[in-house]
Amino acid sequence: MLNAYGNSFLKPLNSEIESLIYLLEDPDDFIQEQVIQRLTQIGESAVPLLDQKRVTVRDADTRLIFDNLIHTITYHSFQQDVALIANDGIYTIEDLEDAVFLFSRFDNPTIRMQPFSVLLDQMADEIALKLRKAETDRKKMQIFLQYLYSQKQFEGCQNEYLHPHHSYIHHVLKNKKGIPLSLAFVILFLARRLHLPFFGINMPLHFLVKYVTVNNDHVLVDPFNNGSVLSREQCQLFLRKSGIKFYDQYFEVASPYAMFSRFVRNLINGYTEMGKQEKARQLQELFGQIESLREL
């Protein structure tokens, strides 16, 4: 749109945003508060320039100011997108992937998730070439797991277990480290592309996946420990040592929504442990909205 002088209205707005961003690093708290208030009023139009500046900021405290401001500005649109996901429902693994990908924006509002979807596509193509050599469906399972854990070197995280970075799929795909559920997501999202019969198993304390052969053999796989195969007895022993009574239902296939629920609860627990109570509160609020929409 042009003003009376034939100039774009975007130019003075961008100029104002650039000036405000410069003042955002002012040591005067009052000035900083006024700048934050004005940038919040401007809204998402300010986000591209804020994000561009954020990348160059080295001071951790200043970067946190940028992170929090971008999060605040974009939170409403994120809520709206979460509501759309909730309205559509999370019924399939593809729905689950969309929901998990969407929640990466809670960690980084300006992230582009398409490269990570493309990465999964490329990985699936690589595995597909290897699967052609498999003579049995069990061999397919072995080739798949060897690719993921030996060739690509995905592994369970060894410290800061509850840190949200170990739950968000973009961090897991980038760093190749995660907790049982997030590593199971990698397996399930790849398996969907390859039409392999992997399923989530919502066992307490330690999420598992199950591979079902054409002979209806159910093979339990530990996504956290290099895709190792577990027996039902080993799982029962693990639960008993953890003081948890065993029920057969623990080995039933988890619904996509049940896996998504566990994913969000892991994030809430992670932010709570880090002392980021506001992030935990927002996630609890979002999850409550999703639950209420499901009940309609």
pLDDT digits (tens, 9 = 90+) for 32-77: 899 999 999 999 999 999 999 998 988 888 899 999 999 999 999 9
Last residue of a domain, one of 41, 66, 84: 84
- Provide the mean pLDDT of the chain: 92
Residue 1: its pLDDT value, please?
40
Residues 119 and 257 in one domain: yes
Residues 104 and 212 in one domain: yes
Residue 120: its pLDDT value, please?
98
Residue 9: its pLDDT value, please?
47
Residues 35 and 99 in one domain: no
Residues 65 and 159 in one domain: no
Tell me the CA distances in angstroms from 170 to 55, 102, 111, 118, 165, one per residue in order.
Answer: 18, 10, 9, 12, 8
DSSP structural state of residue 168: S
- For residue 4, name the pLDDT band (cuts at 50, 70, 90): very low
- 206: tokens are 């330690």
Tell me the CA distances in angstroms from 86 to 79, 93, 182, 296, one per residue in order.
Answer: 10, 15, 21, 11
Residues 72 and 95 in one domain: no
Residues 139 and 228 in one domain: yes
Convert the pLDDT of each residue in 93-126 to its tens digit.
Answer: 999 999 999 999 999 999 999 999 999 999 999 9
Residue 36 and residue 66: Cα distance in Å, rounded? 9
Please state the rounded mean pLDDT for residues 162-179.
97
Last residue of a domain, one of 32, 54, 84: 84
Residue 280 and residue 271: Cα distance in Å, rounded? 5
- For residue 7, name the pLDDT band (cuts at 50, 70, 90): very low
How many domains does one find in the chain?
A: 2
Last residue of a domain, one of 84, 102, 135: 84
pTM to 2 decimal places: 0.91
Residue 212 and residue 198: Cα distance in Å, rounded? 7
- 172: tokens are 């897991």
- For residue 295, name the pLDDT band (cuts at 50, 70, 90): low
| Residues ≥6 apart with Cβ < 8 Å to 27 | none
